[in-house]
A = this chain, B = another copy of it.
Amino acid sequence: MTSDVIVVRIYIHEKEHGRRTTLQQEILNLLHDQQRVQGVTVFRGIAGFGASGTVHAADLLRLTVDLPIVIEFYDKPEVAQAAMKLLHGLVPDGHVVHWRASCSDLSQDQPSE
């Protein structure tokens, strides 16, 4: 038994600013408080570059570097779509990627985390 889900990945940087605090924190707050979704995970990359071409790389002085952050979640299509609508305006265009996937059954007991 599987359910259809949408997997969403949001690509930002550690030091990117939101409206009031870091963009990372504002996205997590939104996904946690306004449109609760399942399975949000935040990853920190060790290097990366974006449209501007700047290269960010972790090294011994990591704390001074602005590393890439990926915030990933998945949920039923209607929930994921609603979350993406809320993200629009907060996250710059071109930084939210999503695709269809299947999930071991979501509709039974919610997994106790």
Contact = CB atoms under 8 A, between A and B. Distances in A.
A108 B55 CA distance: 23
Copies in the complex: 3
A97 B111 CA distance: 14
Contact of A101 (B38, B41, B93, B97): B97
Contacts of A93: 104-106, 108-109, 111
A64 interface: no
Contacts of A45: 41-43
A66 to B, nearest CB: 9
B47 A42 contact: yes
A53 B74 CA distance: 14
Given A7-B99, A51-B110, A94-B106, 6 more contacts: A28-B47, A38-B51, A42-B48, A43-B46, A54-B113, A97-B101
